[in-house]
Structure 1
Amino acid sequence: MESSERQLRAQMRFFHDLVRKLAADGDPYAKVLSAPDNPYPAYEAIRARGVLYHSPLNTWVTADHELANQVLRDKRFGVRMANGDKVPEFMNFDNSMLGLDPPDHTRLRRMTVPTFNPRIVERWRGRAEAICHRLIDDILAKGGRFDLMTSFAHHLPTAVIGDLVGIPEEDREQFHLLSREITPLLDGVVTYEKSVSVHAALDGMAELFGRIVEQRRADPREDMISRMLPLVDEGSLTMAELLPLCMFLPLAGTETTVNLIGNGILALLRHPEQWRMVAEDPELAQGAVNETLRYDPPVQTYRRIAHEPVELAGVTLAVDDELAIVAAGANRDPKVFPDPERFDITRSSRNDTLAFSAGIHYCLGAPLAKFEAEVAYQTLITRLPDLRQAGPVRRRGSFIIRGLQEFPLSAG
């Protein structure tokens, strides 16, 4: 085994052992990193430590909505080290726009904004509705017992974002399979063995999109790849930048929507009176989306690195100090959301949640994820009003992405 592999294994083993020890000793942030099925008590324990809490893991942590919102918009913080280096590889493999700071982030984001313009995204509503109905038809044809995640939730966003980005129909199954292997990028700490499979899948994804880009060069369509290829030709974008955009924007967008669908349907089934409200008035699905984003969001935590000394909440963070922003905890801050433990689809809080971050890294695909989930809720509830849980759910085991791996349901 090469020394670099031994070193990476040792780093991962040391970090996992330290997290387990500190969690057992009562550190709430270490408990969060342990990815419990229900992390919300740990978020409240973080809040009880104060507006800004310093974990023994040498990370500053906040679940305070006001401070979290402030930091996400503060240009003195970034997602990389102050000198531009990535954080340690075993903590973050991402080298796409999601892991860049200005000015590169600003330039690339400006190029991708048109693809996710809300007016353009809304044109796909009919397509999303047709996909949902087709998926439900398939479910009913097979007897009505199904897993929400594999039979429904994964298929809708893959199809819609495939159209938007420019992934041909015949390549979407391969994209989906490779995405399953790459999702640990979004989950945070992984094992050494998982990191090996991630890098292999990244190579496969790069090969896939390299071929798709050449297809779109020969036969341009109304999609992101076709729209951005002229930028490569004129020199304002490199192929080395385009390929990660093609790989990670649909990956991040798909994961967010998949888990927003799963988390929302679970919350609605556990609150049957609100399920019935949507059945009687499908327009309330929009409120169900907004409340799910507050109550049980797909993305739970963000990380920022201080690029200069910053004073926050009476303490000074040094250059390269790390701050974990527990957005899912901030979304239950009682100073902003009265009775925050209550799931209420009539709550008026859609502009206050941090479910899609804030500031320059606010999620480009937020309008897309919201309307897809809204269509999914409406279609499932109106077509399958007697839907019920048919077995225990299994969560994916991540402290960053909150979602379900298995969600067995029965249509009646």
Structure 2
Amino acid sequence: MAADLQQRIRWLALHGVIRGLSKVAVRRGQDPQARLIADPAVRADPAAFADELRGRGPVIRCRAVLMTVDHQVVNEILRSDDFRVSSLGAGLPKPLQWINRKTHPGLLHPIEPPSLLSIEPPDHTRCRKLVSSVFTTRAVAALRERVQQTANDLLDDLERESGVVDIVERYCSQLPVAVISDILGVPERDRRHILHFGELGAPSLDIGLSWRQYTQVHEGLVGFNEWLGGHMDELRRNPGDDLMSQLIQASQAADEGSRLTDRELQATAGLVLAAGFETTVNLLGNGIRMLLETPGHLETLAARPELWPNAVEEILRLDSPVQMSARFARRDVTVGGTEIKRGELVILHLAGANRDPEVFTDPHRFDIERDNAGRHLSFSGGRHFCLGAALARAEGEVGLRTFFERYPDARLAGQGSRRDTRVLRGWSTLPITLGTARAALGS
């Protein structure tokens, strides 16, 4: 009972108060921050919301934060030493921050230190350097072969199906789970746990969660933290050839000042799951949906498969799996003609920046031959540029190309449903009629 009460209090501090105030603000006016949290129309159509904001200038001052959808401003802030990353609850009023600290359950969280997403140099430099020594170009290339084999196997299984399948459940989620499991050294028997934890934890990046969402996220974090502790101990006793075993060994062999603590190692594993699973599920689901709605692009890709990498960049630009990020000002600074005071929080609407007409001609059009599609900011930028960007691109390219080569007659079989998240954007269900399968290339 006491634990449940503590979680209720924590939910109120982190989410409940902000959620309630945002709902009131949405009814009374047009505060962009409140709409971002509590307006279902914004979740349904974030592009229209970004266009509204764009007309109000490069930087918009909301009731409690600043916000920008301007590509140049977002790009500048991501790369600027005048700003630092945020963490869960850091932008709350002081009394709510105090409650957050007092009720903290001690669980690892993807946007709390020591996660790479929430730390700055020198700790960030030390951690990222060691992680980068393992997540090399060569390692990603080897994982690409695993992505291809897994995609082939999953599509082989789908050949036994007739009628309608949920492609998110049967393919888009299964492919990245296999890759993440390979990275973390997860045995086959435990992979269903990884899938379950990833699905429960998807809303963990959002603010203003409902009590139901919060309890699901908490369940996922508890389960993953408990499983991870035992798994890391096993990797230390019996290391494999997976990247997490290599990271543990690299840390043990490093100079004392360069090593990762046990908590930092676990936080890295948690980030691999949080950043590498749900985002890739969304990339695959978004891509399949967009391409099925534009059969002319599929015909072009069938005739010119060399366009697949650029098609993935355009999918990342137009329907970004990660919609936004945030930064605190370290000092008084002027950006985009707006004075930002030390300690003020700026919401960076990545998805809006990716549709900036000053950078992308006809920005709402899906164009797989767009020559600057790769200028999107979906992987963030600067020192916090996504470590897994190359792997995500490989999973997107291989996963989408292989699906449409095997099932060129696939068709949408219903509207599907979007995930109930705001920072992450993707499909939770996507019904597909597969049609007749072609033989796998090389078989």
* Global fold match (TM > 0.5): yes
Q: Pick from 4, 11, 18 the counterpart of residue 21 of structure 2.
A: 18
Taking structure 1 as reference, are residues 391 and 214 closer, same or farther at Cα in structure 2, changes over 3 Å only? same
CA RMSD of aligned residues (A): 2.2
Q: How far did 1:4 drift?
A: 5.3
Q: Tell me the residue number matched to 1:206.
A: 225
1:334 alignment partner, SS class? coil
User: Number of matched residues?
Assistant: 408
Q: Tell me the residue number matched to 2:56.
A: 49
Query: Counterpart amino acid of 2:24?
Result: K
Q: How far did 1:233 drift?
A: 6.8
1:285 alignment partner, SS class? helix
Q: Tell me the residue number matched to 2:71.
A: 65
Give distance in 1, aligned partners of 2:224 and 2:10: 23
Give distance in 2, aligned partners of 1:245 and 1:113: 12
Q: How far did 1:344 drift?
A: 0.2
Q: Tell me the residue number matched to 1:345.
A: 368
Query: Counterpart amino acid of 1:19?
Result: S
Q: Pick from 50, 73, 94 the counterpart of residue 111 of structure 2.
A: 94
Is the contact between residue 297 and residue 355 of structure 1 (CA under 8 Å) also seen in structure 2? yes
Is the contact between residue 394 and residue 406 of structure 1 (CA under 8 Å) also seen in structure 2? yes
Is the contact between residue 97 and residue 245 of structure 1 (CA under 8 Å) also seen in structure 2? yes
Give distance in 1, aligned partners of 2:110 and 2:210: 12
Q: How far did 1:209 drift?
A: 1.8
Q: Pick from 110, 124, 129 the counterpart of residue 143 of structure 2.
A: 124
Taking structure 1 as reference, are residues 125 and 10 closer, same or farther at Cα in structure 2, changes over 3 Å only? closer
Q: How far did 1:392 drift?
A: 1.1
Deviation by residue 1:126-149 (Cα, 9 ceiling, x = unmatched): 221221121112112021521111
Please, which runs of 5 or more residues in structure 2 have no aligned partner?
A: 101-108, 436-443
Query: Counterpart amino acid of 2:299?
Result: R
Q: Tell me the residue number matched to 2:192.
A: 173
Query: Counterpart amino acid of 2:78?
Result: L
- Once structures 1 and 2 are overlaid, which stretch shifts more, 348-357 or 215-224? 215-224
Q: Pick from 284, 289, 299 the counterpart of residue 266 of structure 1.
A: 289
Taking structure 1 as reference, are residues 316 and 4 closer, same or farther at Cα in structure 2, changes over 3 Å only? farther
Q: How far did 1:297 drift?
A: 0.8
1:409 alignment partner, SS class? strand
Taking structure 1 as reference, are residues 86 and 104 closer, same or farther at Cα in structure 2, changes over 3 Å only? farther
**Corresponding position: 1:216 with 2:216:** no
Give distance in 2, aligned partners of 1:102 and 1:114: 17
Q: Tell me the residue number matched to 1:290.
A: 313
Q: Pick from 77, 80, 83 the counterpart of residue 74 of structure 1.
A: 80
Is the contact between residue 278 and residue 381 of structure 1 (CA under 8 Å) also seen in structure 2? no
Give distance in 1, aligned partners of 2:387 and 2:279: 11
Is the contact between residue 145 and residue 408 of structure 1 (CA under 8 Å) also seen in structure 2? yes
- Once structures 1 and 2 are overlaid, which stretch shifts more, 303-312 or 361-370? 303-312
Query: Counterpart amino acid of 1:45?
Result: E
Query: Counterpart amino acid of 2:130?
Result: M
Q: Tell me the residue number matched to 1:145.
A: 164
Q: How far did 1:380 drift?
A: 1.1
2:393 alignment partner, SS class? helix
Q: Pick from 34, 38, 41 the counterpart of residue 30 of structure 1.
A: 34
Please, which runs of 5 or more residues in structure 1 have no aligned partner?
A: none
1:333 alignment partner, SS class? coil
Deviation by residue 1:77-103 (Cα, 9 ceiling, x = unmatched): 11238xx9944478x873222222222
Give distance in 1, aligned partners of 2:228 and 2:172: 23
Pairs within 5 Å for 1:246-325: 246-325=269-348
Percent identity, aligned pairs only?
34
- Normalised by the length of structure 2, the TM-score is 0.86
Pairs within 5 Å for 1:349-364: 349-364=372-387
**Corresponding position: 1:333 with 2:340:** no
Give distance in 2, aligned partners of 1:384 and 1:193: 38
Is the contact between residue 115 and residue 223 of structure 1 (CA under 8 Å) also seen in structure 2? no
Taking structure 1 as reference, are residues 224 and 93 closer, same or farther at Cα in structure 2, changes over 3 Å only? closer
Query: Counterpart amino acid of 2:34?
Result: A
Taking structure 1 as reference, are residues 130 and 144 closer, same or farther at Cα in structure 2, changes over 3 Å only? farther
Q: Tell me the residue number matched to 2:438.
A: none
Taking structure 1 as reference, are residues 115 and 154 closer, same or farther at Cα in structure 2, changes over 3 Å only? farther
Q: How far did 1:186 drift?
A: 2.6
Give distance in 2, aligned partners of 1:85 and 1:9: 11
Q: Tell me the residue number matched to 1:161.
A: 180
Is the contact between residue 323 and residue 378 of structure 2 (CA under 8 Å) also seen in structure 1? yes
Is the contact between residue 110 and residue 270 of structure 2 (CA under 8 Å) also seen in structure 1? no
Deviation by residue 1:239-276 (Cα, 9 ceiling, x = unmatched): 11111111222221111111011111111111110021
2:265 alignment partner, SS class? helix
Query: Counterpart amino acid of 2:285?
Result: G
Give distance in 2, aligned partners of 1:174 and 1:10: 29
Q: How far did 1:198 drift?
A: 2.5
Give distance in 1, aligned partners of 2:225 and 2:12: 29
Is the contact between residue 407 and residue 434 of structure 2 (CA under 8 Å) also seen in structure 1? yes
Query: Counterpart amino acid of 2:49?
Result: A
**Corresponding position: 1:381 with 2:404:** yes
Taking structure 1 as reference, are residues 223 and 61 closer, same or farther at Cα in structure 2, changes over 3 Å only? same
Query: Counterpart amino acid of 2:196?
Result: L
